[in-house]
Amino acid sequence: MTLSHLERCLALLLRALSRVLLALFALVARFSATFGGRGGGPLTVEPPTEPLLLLPGVELARRIRRGQVKSVDVVQAYIDRIQAINPVVNALVKDRYDAALQEAMQVDRMVSEGEEDEKTLQEKVPFLGVPCTIKEAFAVHGMPNSSGLLARRNIISSTDAIVVSRIKQAGAIPLGVTNCSELCMWYESSNNVYGRTRNPYNTQRIVGGSSGGEGCILGAAGSVIGVGSDIGGSIRMPAFFNGVFGHKPTTGVVPNDGQFPIAVGPRIEYMCTGPMCRYAEDLDPWLRVMAGTGINKLKLDEEVEMRGIKFYSMEHDGGSIFVSPVDQELRETQRRVVDYLQTDLGVEVQNVEIKKMRYSFQIWSALMSSKGADGQPPQSFTDLLSDHGKEVWPVWELLKWPLGLSVHTLPAIGLALTERFTALNESGNEKMRSLAQTLQTELMNLLGNDGVLLYPSHPRVAPKHHLPLGVPFNFAYTGIFNIFGFPVTQCPLGLGKEGLPVGIQVVANHFNDHLTLAVARYLEKAFGGWAVPGAS
């Protein structure tokens, strides 16, 4: 299959537009850096020294239930850590420290009274007294819920999203909410409400998006478990850039209700809420809490025999004209994983070449713009920017932006513009929707119920701030799996040559989340998982 002439023209146009926007932003950023910008070389956060910060969530819960450690001490340790690192990384945008400490005291009182035994507590409140953080896009009672949109900066949630309610019922204690990109549709977490979040391994690098604040606070040891959402990689990219675990569940397992913006129409099938954790052993129990009865759709209680898994590996998408080539360092990292699997398990990892994967961006874009069952197009990003207020004109916002007169970020303006270009290519979109069906069938037949695919989480390690504007479609490496509804776990594999996290995606067929989670635990033991920032 070859790209049509129109598609090639569109690709060239979008590439040219992204280069112009990047040059424009770099020029303005140079001036803005003179006034209040962070000068000097790259910074990293200091490594944590409090031992409580280096325990998985399930271990903290176990010690709290047994009275071996007080929840108040754990919560206070994390508050102290956030207060130390947040001025550097700007990940937590609103705290609820006083309420968290009060809730922790209630936990300690309940444990000391001993009305329920340890086993009962584990069943009823598996994360009793464990602090957590939540993406600001989710409704958390008493917390802001702007999703980085300036028009919503004064909105305070009066209720909890379903997943937030469930994690509270499981005993977890939210410390606050974390930063995201404007309207959760860009892979750098920066907005005009809270500013820019910086990578804990190098503050000149991005944290990813849209759950970037969540990935950052976890990677910086300011949280141990968290909540993110993902429609194009918004859990997995931040998890990759910040060296932690992120799981996009099979579609429909965890409810998306209670976040803004909420997916509607066909986009409901692509949106996923899922766990983000510093340690792999927290993924399974945290997912169970978030999913509620939806967990019955999965097979998490099935024992996984690693030698019984069929492993497949694909090092790149085959050469998309829209997406950057995969860094050699990441390809070599993936090969080390393959070599280790073959040596340690004695299995054969089959290298595959799925040629249709090169159309990942076009497929994601076409499906995201698909009409619903009622024949109506999805709500446009431009409409979301207005949030029922004054109508937004993207071209006018672009003209105002260099003068500092637009209330929107440049990525949001650029997305609103490209959305219009994409809508003009309906014949190409229809062809991509057809291609998506054949590619999904091919992948489902390959994976079956006992296979996983190893695939890059992103073509590059965490890039410098603003650079995603020049390569806006690199999210295609994660976004394609949203279209198919597959479960995917991003697994950290330590630090690369620049001291930045490297990692890999593990993909399985529908409802086989237990396979990707088992591989995540295996790879953590083999490659070390999360690496302490600032340790070297």
> For 392-444, how does the pLDDT look when each residue is reduced to its tens digit (9 = 90+)?
777 878 888 788 878 888 887 887 777 766 655 677 889 999 999 999 999 99
DSSP string, 265-312: GGGGGT-EEEEEESSGGGHHHHHHHHHGGGGGGS-TTS---GGGSEEE
The tokens of 477 are what? Answer: 């490496």
d(CA 247, CA 457): 12
**In this predicted structure, what is the pLDDT of residue 384?**
77
d(CA 187, CA 208): 5
Length of the chain: 536
SS3 of residue 257 by DSSP: coil
C-alpha triplet 123, 126, 129: angle, nearest 5°: 135
Over the chain (536 residues), the average pLDDT of each successive run of 10 is 53 56 50 44 91 98 98 98 98 98 98 94 98 98 97 96 98 99 95 98 98 98 98 98 98 97 89 98 98 98 98 98 97 98 98 98 92 66 70 80 83 77 71 96 98 98 95 97 98 97 98 98 98 89
d(CA 161, CA 136): 11
322 contacts 474 by C-beta, under 8 angstroms: no
Q: Which amino acid is at 300?
A: L
**In this predicted structure, what is the pLDDT of residue 3?**
46
Q: Which residues of 356-394 are buried (b: 16+ CB within 10 A; e: fewer)?
A: bbbbbbbbbbbbbbbeeeeeeebeebbebbebeeeebeb
Q: What is the pTM of this model?
A: 0.92
> For 247-263, how does the pLDDT look when each residue is reduced to its tens digit (9 = 90+)?
999 999 999 999 999 88
**In this predicted structure, what is the pLDDT of residue 424?**
55
* Helix 57-65 with 283-291: angle, nearest 10 deg: 80
d(CA 310, CA 520): 15
**In this predicted structure, what is the pLDDT of residue 33?**
42
**In this predicted structure, what is the pLDDT of residue 73?**
98
187 contacts 181 by C-beta, under 8 angstroms: yes
Sign of CA dihedral 390, 391, 396, 400: positive
**In this predicted structure, what is the pLDDT of residue 415?**
77
DSSP string, 370-398: ---TTSPPPPPHHHHHHTTSSPP-HHHHH
Active site (catalytic) residues: 135, 210, 234
